[in-house]
Amino acid sequence: MNTRIFENLFDEGLVSQESMNKIRAAETSKLFPVAWELRTILYLGVLLLSSGLGILIYKHIDTIGHMAIIALIAAISLGCFIYAAKKKPAFTWQKMRTPSVLYDYLVLLGCLTFVSFVTYLQAQYNVFGTLYGTATFIPLIVLTFSAYYFDHLGVLCMAITNLAAWMGVNVTPRYLITANDFSSERIVYAGLLLGLICIGMSWLSKHKQWKAHFEFTYMNFGVHVLYVSMIAAHFTLLRWPFFGWVLMMGAVSYLLYRFFPVVRNSAYFLVVMALYIYVQLIIIITETNIGDIGGYLFICLLLTGLLIYALVTINRKMKKK
Amino acid sequence: MIAYNKEQLDNFMIQEAAEAVKEKGLISQEEWEAIQAKHPVKLYTPNIFVRIGLALAVIIGALLVNGLFLLMGTDLLRAASSVAGIEFFLGIVCYFLLELYTHAKPHYFSGIDDGLIIVTGGMMITGFILMEMNPTGVTFLTMFMSIIFFVRFPLRWLGVFTYGSILAFVFAFLVNVIPAPALVLSIVIFILSLATFMLTRKVITQYRFRYYSEPISWVSYAALLSLYASVNYFVVREIGGNMMALEPGEALPLGWFFWITTCVVPLIYIYLGITKKSRVCLVTGLTLVAATVYTVRQYYYLLPVESVMCIAGFVMVGIAALLLRYLKTPKHGFTTSEEHIDHSKEKSILESLIIAQTMSAPQTPTDTGGFGGGSTIGGGAGGDY
């Protein structure tokens, strides 16, 4: 198919003989890339292994003995970290070239087992007593350190979820909305704060050049957590008259757009922000109880029209770049 | 046949192909610019996120309009048939808009076309259901409409949907009209899938079907999956068992045959994938190994689930690590070189979301109180009309 397209271009005189030969040669000697498949298998393997081990240990607790299990988990975790530390090139604040594919996954396995190690210590021996904060704070430190030291985005995600857990919020994409009790003021405040922290970290990553490629991940968590919390704030916190929190959302969106190139240059963030504002507006319209259902549908339709207009504008802005 | 402007589609494909070879340095910058100048693309094809957003907005908008129409004629519309009339009317209007958008403003994969196709199809089918048409008839009309839509608007998801609707019709026809026995059903689906797969392989390489080759390649994945499903012991036992009124726990007649196919088909896929260098076969085969393990576990208790997880995880990590080492320098035409991995922004966003989701999140400590309660903001845009 490809060769045919270029043969046509060649006939039109748009592609030179030399380039055509290169394309033909590339087409015939094409290698079959399997890197993505192998990576996926590795990733699933690591996940299966770590969770399988977890269950296995949990079930056989009375026969193996706690000390042996804790030693085993610690050994796996330590082994992974030692391997990673040996393979790792010298630390830089820039993006590091991964020494090998295996390296990435062993760092991941090391961190996963480390978290189970701490959880286990706490569950079994109550090492940290009732200081639950400490039990999540220690993994937080280790994960954050590992994310930067070993330069690993997956571990960074773990660190952020851990920070959230420490603050009392659940931020895995699937549970962000369902598993958090947003009627509790505390959670809403924690969510707002967490969102701001993530956005702040995103800014620092970029401007201080502290692993500038972490910018996107921080912003991703930040935007979702902040906007969901703002929607929740509309219900639980002080009810500002009319469109208080929507105006807040608009202001936040404007600031993000104005001061963060990562947001300004990404259709993803702009679309997500537009959708959040749309949802918030629909919620408010539904709440105000217009009384006339026809009018209600009509206003919703108007809002949907505005959403389409916003999306088309976003696309036009993106195209220009 | 195709609704989109053919010349524009050709230009679109030319630019895509040229960009790919330009990135590999096979053509020069001047050639790339000359190609762009000679084959300009005027199609409106927004970014994938904008596309999803637009599709959602169009669907919601159409539902709202639907609601308004029904509201306007509440008194007139006592009978279901008149509601069906409204659905047909709106469906036709949507189809008209769809043609308008793809011709006058050349929308192509813009989300507006996706949304309008879904809305048109949905309204028509709702109309037919309101007319109290029987299920076989509904599946037939669904199939008929999706084929027409697919021929005019070759979108990837629509290709898979069309194939699914064909399967659904064949299934409904065999079960409701003929009352065919379960084994015949399995054989028919098997042959249909195999024929579809062979056909897709042929079509993909043909230049004259070039507009369809992307969506058709998605259909070939679906065909391989349905082929496996038609001979998988679990699927045949559960669906066929219902039809034959088997007692729970009773074995399937010819069960040994289905056990063999359940275990062998994924291996054949993987073998074909490796020898023929076919990604479709390789990826489906690897995925279906998991399905086979699941099927076996459904009936035979060999090992507790955590042992299976550990063994599988260990084997997977081992095989992948060995292969990565073995293929460090390309052998037998395979390479693990990272340069072939698609590093586009969209892909990396999706990847980071998947990682964030699957990464076992630590439990939130209980002293903050009140977790697991209901959410106050579930409704959103979806449930409010």
Summarised one tens digit per residue, pLDDT across range B285-335 is: 888 888 888 888 777 777 777 777 888 888 888 888 888 777 777 777 777
Residues in A closer than 8 angstroms to B338, CB to CB, are 35
**Domain for residue B67, yes or no?**
no
Is the confidence at residue B366, as pLDDT, over 50? no
Give the integer Cα–Cα distance in Å for B247 and A234: 55
B260 and B329 fall within a common domain? no
Tens-place pLDDT, residues B4-42: 888 888 888 888 887 777 777 777 777 777 777 777 888
Residue A90 backbone phi and psi in degrees, to 5? -55, 145
DSSP bridge partners of B335: A33
Q: Would you call A96 an interface residue with chain B, using a CB distance cutoff of 8 Å? A: no
Per DSSP, the residues of B178-207 read: S---HHHHHHHHHHHHHHHHHHHHHHHH-G
**Residues of B with CB below 8 A from A51's CB?**
309, 360
Sign of torsion over alpha carbons A15, A18, A19, A24:
positive
The confidence score (pLDDT) of residue B373 equals: 31
A147-200 per-position pLDDT tens digit: 888 888 888 888 888 888 888 776 666 666 666 666 677 788 888 899 999 999
Based on the fold, state whether residues B233 and B331 are members of the same structural domain.
no
According to DSSP, the residues that pair with B107 across neighbouring strands are: B44
Domain contains B26: no
Residues B234 and B264 in one domain: yes
Is there a single domain that holds both residue B316 and residue B297?
no
Q: Where are the domains of chain A?
A: 1-30, 35-167, 180-321
Of B24, B61, B320, the CB nearest to A301: B61
Do B310 and B204 lie in one domain? The reply is no
Residues B266 and B309 in one domain: no
The C-alpha atoms of residue A228 and residue B377 are separated, in whole angstroms, by: 9
Burial of B149: CB neighbours in 10 Å, binned 0-12, 13-18, 19+: buried
Query: Within the 241-270 window of chain A, which residues sit less than 8 Å (CB to CB) from chain B?
Result: 266-268
Tens of pLDDT, residue by residue over B66-100, are: 888 888 776 666 677 778 888 899 999 999 999 88
Q: Is the pLDDT of residue A114 over 60?
A: yes
pLDDT of B241 strictly over 90:
no
Q: Are residues B201 and B323 in the same domain?
A: no
Report the pLDDT value the prediction gives residue B383, as an integer from 0 to 100: 30
CB B289 within 8 Å of CB B315: no
Looking at residue A302, its pLDDT comes to 92
**Tokens standing for residue A36:** 């993505």
H or E element, residue A84: helix A66-87
What's the DSSP call for residue B368? G
Q: Which of B302, B322, B355 is the last residue of a domain?
A: B302
Q: Report the alpha-carbon distance of residue A113 to residue A142 in Å, rounded.
A: 12
pLDDT of residue A273: 92
Task: Please give the residue that has the higher pLDDT: either A288 or A206.
Answer: A206
Q: Give the DSSP H/E element, type plus range, for residue A276.
A: helix A267-288
Polymer length in residues for chain A: 321
Say if the Cβ atoms of A235 and B376 lie within 8 Å: yes
Indicate whether B196 belongs to any domain. Answer: yes
B371 in a structural domain: no
b/e map B282-310, b = 16+ CB within 10 Å: bbbbbbbbebbbebbeeeeeeeeebebbb
pLDDT at res. B370: 31
Question: For residue B166, is it within any domain?
Answer: yes
Is A288 touching B (CB cutoff 8 A)?
Answer: no
Q: Which domain holds residue B233?
A: 154-302
Chain B interface, best mutation among A193, A239, A271, by max B CB count within 10 A = A271
* Whole-Å CA distances, B167 to A219, B142, B186, B196, B222: 43, 11, 12, 11, 11
Q: What's the domain count of chain B?
A: 2
Contacts of A232 in chain B (CB under 8 A): 376-377
Place B101 in a pLDDT band, splitting at 50, 70 and 90.
confident
Domain assignment of residue B7, yes or no: no
Q: Looking at the domain assignment, is residue B185 inside a domain?
A: yes
What pLDDT, on the 0 to 100 scale, is given for residue B349?
62
Same structural domain, B224 and B317: no
Within this chain, do residues B332 and B271 fall inside the same structural domain, yes or no? Answer: no
Higher per-residue confidence, A119 vs B52: B52
Residue B166 sits in the same domain as residue B194? yes
Residue of A nearest to B17 (CA): A2
Residues in Cβ contact with B337 at an 8 Å cutoff, skipping those fewer than 6 apart: A31, A33, A35, B330
Minimum distance, in Å, between the CA of residue B333 and any CA atom of chain A: 5
* Residue that the structure tokens 């011709």 belong to: B103
pLDDT in tens, B229-239: 988 888 888 78
Is A294 in contact with B38 (Cβ distance < 8 A)?
A: no
**A280 with A311: CB under 8 angstroms?**
no
CB distance A180–B340 less than 8 Å?
Answer: no
| Confidence band, pLDDT 50/70/90 cuts, at residue A316 | confident
Provide, as residue numbers in chain A, all residues whose Cβ is less than 8 Å from the Cβ of B380: 279, 282-283
Report chain B's terminal Cα–Cα distance, integer Å: 37
Over residues A67-107, the pLDDT tens digits come to 777 888 889 889 989 988 888 777 778 777 777 777 888 88
pLDDT above 60: residue B245: yes
Asked if the C-beta of A238 comes within 8 angstroms of chain B's C-beta atoms, the answer is no
Q: Are A2 and B205 in contact (CB under 8 A)?
A: no
Residue % of chain A over a pLDDT of 70: 90
Distance from CA of A68 to the nearest CA of B (A): 18
Taking the CA atoms of A270, A276, A278 and A281 in sequence, report the sign of the dihedral they define.
negative
